[in-house]
Amino acid sequence: MTAAAVATEPDAVEGRARPALDLLIWDAPNIDMTLSTVIGARPTAASRPRFDAIAAWFVEGAGDPAAVDAPEVEACVFANIPPVVGSLQRWVEALRSFGFAVFARPKTQPDDDIDQDMLDHIEVRGHSHRLRRLVVFSGDGRNFAEPLEELARAGTQVVVVAFSEVAGYAIGSELLEFIDIEDVPGAFVEPLDRVRLDALPPDGAWLRPTRGLRDFVSSYVRRNG
């Protein structure tokens, strides 16, 4: 009998055993957008997260795979794919080679997103498995705060991993654990060019604007006539 087969819990509804699961959900649009925000520039290869290191960190957190109570592990990246794919094909194939499943939805309109797809997958796994640990890489409190806190109340260990600048919903929650993505070992090739409010030097620090002042005023005038 495998460890995964032993790590089960009776399902009161269906009268069968559900395997324990550690699940990782990666909100690609949100992480990309917030990364650009916190560094004030378009991300480069050196400033993008390393999925191999993140996979290693996540699996290590699941514990010894030979233990009788070891959970199954699953990591999923959710992405919007624009009409012109470009280098995204290589990115998707790299993710799959690291052990990540990828849910890709075409982005044909500006408001196309994958928020509900992520929530639906969490719900599906909550029925097919016993969610022991849920790790969500997203700063999107509008969509995630309430359902994640509900899962935490039900006994799932819920960890939000995002940038502290944009994850107030998790930092201020008494039910959710929060980790700054830059604190995940090896997540970035080199330190990001950012100043964290939760790690300010004693003498203070300057936070430069992420947008030019004239550029902002021009757009403001256009919007407000």
Asked whether the beta carbons of 58 and 135 are under 8 A apart, the reply is: yes
**Per-residue confidence (pLDDT) for residue 10, from 0 to 100:** 45
- Whole-number percent of the chain with pLDDT over 70: 90
Say yes or no to pLDDT of 107 above 80: no
- Segment 57-69 mean pLDDT: 93
Is residue 97 very low, low, confident or very high in pLDDT (cuts 50, 70, 90)? very high
Which residues make Cβ contacts (< 8 Å) with residue 203, sequence separation at least 6? none
CATH code of the domain in which 123 resides: 3.40.50.1010
Rounded to whole angstroms, the Cα distance separating 35 from 33 reads: 5
Rounded to whole angstroms, the Cα distance separating 31 from 138 reads: 6
Rounded to whole angstroms, the Cα distance separating 201 from 97 reads: 39
Highest mean pLDDT of the ranges 28-32, 140-144, 157-161, 217-221:
157-161
Confirm whether 213 is domain-assigned.
no
Is residue 12 very low, low, confident or very high in pLDDT (cuts 50, 70, 90)? very low
Q: How many domains does the chain have?
A: 1
Which amino acid is it at 106? Answer: P
Confirm whether 222 is domain-assigned.
no
Rounded to whole angstroms, the Cα distance separating 27 from 37 reads: 16
| Integer CA distances (angstroms), 140 to 26, 75, 146, in order | 11, 18, 11
**Per-residue confidence (pLDDT) for residue 208, from 0 to 100:** 75
Confirm whether 216 is domain-assigned.
no
The pTM assigned to this predicted structure is 0.83
**Per-residue confidence (pLDDT) for residue 5, from 0 to 100:** 38
Confirm whether 207 is domain-assigned.
no
**Per-residue confidence (pLDDT) for residue 207, from 0 to 100:** 78
Confirm whether 98 is domain-assigned.
yes
Is residue 16 very low, low, confident or very high in pLDDT (cuts 50, 70, 90)? low
Closest Cα to residue 138, out of 158, 123, 152? 158
**Per-residue confidence (pLDDT) for residue 85, from 0 to 100:** 62
Confirm whether 182 is domain-assigned.
yes
- Segment 90-105 mean pLDDT: 93
**Per-residue confidence (pLDDT) for residue 38, from 0 to 100:** 87
Confirm whether 86 is domain-assigned.
yes
Query: Tell me: the pLDDT tens digits for 128-187?
Result: 999 999 999 999 999 999 999 999 999 999 999 999 988 899 999 999 999 999 999 999
Confirm whether 28 is domain-assigned.
yes
164: containing domain: 3-196
Tell me which of 64-73, 127-136, 205-214 is least confident: 205-214
**58: number of Cβ within 10 Å:** 23
C-alpha triplet 183, 184, 187: angle, nearest 5°: 110
